[in-house]
Amino acid sequence: MRVLIVEDEILLSRQLAKALTVAGYAVDCAADGEQADFLARTQNYDAVVLDLGLPRLDGLTLLRRWREACIFAPVLILTARGSWHEKVQGIDGGADDYVAKPFRIEEVLARIRALIRRSIGIASAELRCGALALDVRTARVSVGGDPVKLTSHEFRVLSYLMHHSGRVVSRAELIEHIYAQDFDRDSNTVEVFIARLRRKLGASFIETVRGLGYRIWKPAAGDLP
């Protein structure tokens, strides 16, 4: 899953980026509104963390422009504590949630997880496909209760597929959502990650749909443990 952080306080931006990266996300950062607008219009993000007090283009204007342009990635706005009018304006402008500064990084991570789940209609923090389980809170993966150790990119591929279980995800879509903007992308590595995941998890979980991409089946209710 890929997140855009729009924050002009460099230290805070770095702290957020580090925490999100450790949690298994691909992360891009923008320090002003114009850069953020360019990234949001040219890249695909699963969530955006947006400070309202930005240079060049303020966060509220930016948010309204995105919604008018049909950019619907869930947005978590950062506001000053006690600035209730900013919270109201942000929500009315198209934001999905807010958190007031100063905040704990853990709260931001929890809200981002919830926004992403909500945007694709998932209620639980644990994603399951039969015996395969992924806990988005701890970034832990298990098969039949046994933990499976994955690399960061293997985890991102699996996480994206499980968040979108039941539908075919193309290789191009995976590339857009598992790599940050400045990463040297190689489409062939997706096949490598899929092969590694099959070795570690078992070959039956990830289906190749020839010419289209990959799919993890969403189990029927009767198949759940």
Give the domain CATH number at 137. Answer: 1.10.10.10
pLDDT at site 84: 76
Two structure tokens written together for 49: 């963390």
Identify the segments of the chain with pLDDT beneath 70.
81-82, 182-187, 218-225
Q: Which of 102, 119, 136 is the last residue of a domain?
A: 119
pLDDT at site 80: 79
pLDDT at site 224: 42
Task: Let me know whether 140 and 50 are in one domain.
Answer: no
Task: Let me know whether 115 and 130 are in one domain.
Answer: no
pLDDT at site 35: 97
Q: What is the pTM of this model?
A: 0.85
Q: Which of 70, 101, 119 is the last residue of a domain?
A: 119
Two structure tokens written together for 150: 């994955």
Task: Let me know whether 98 and 153 are in one domain.
Answer: no
Task: Let me know whether 99 and 143 are in one domain.
Answer: no
pLDDT at site 188: 75
List the domain range (segments joined by +) for residue 41: 2-119
Counting other chains too, the contacts that 192-197 makes at CB distance below 8 Å and 24 or more residues apart are 193/153, 193/154, 193/157, 194/157, 196/151, 196/154, 197/150, 197/154, 197/157, 197/158
Task: Let me know whether 66 and 170 are in one domain.
Answer: no
Coil, strand, or helix at residue 72?
A: coil
CATH code where residue 34 lies: 3.40.50.2300
pLDDT at site 217: 80
Task: Let me know whether 96 and 144 are in one domain.
Answer: no
Task: Let me know whether 115 and 92 are in one domain.
Answer: yes
Task: Let me know whether 8 and 114 are in one domain.
Answer: yes
Task: Let me know whether 141 and 159 are in one domain.
Answer: yes
Residues 153-169 pLDDT 10s:
999 999 999 999 999 99
Task: Let me know whether 130 and 112 are in one domain.
Answer: no
pLDDT at site 180: 85
pLDDT at site 150: 95
The CA distances from residue 190 to 12, 27, 174, in Å, are 32, 18, 8
Q: Which of 79, 96, 119 is the last residue of a domain?
A: 119
Task: Let me know whether 94 and 203 are in one domain.
Answer: no
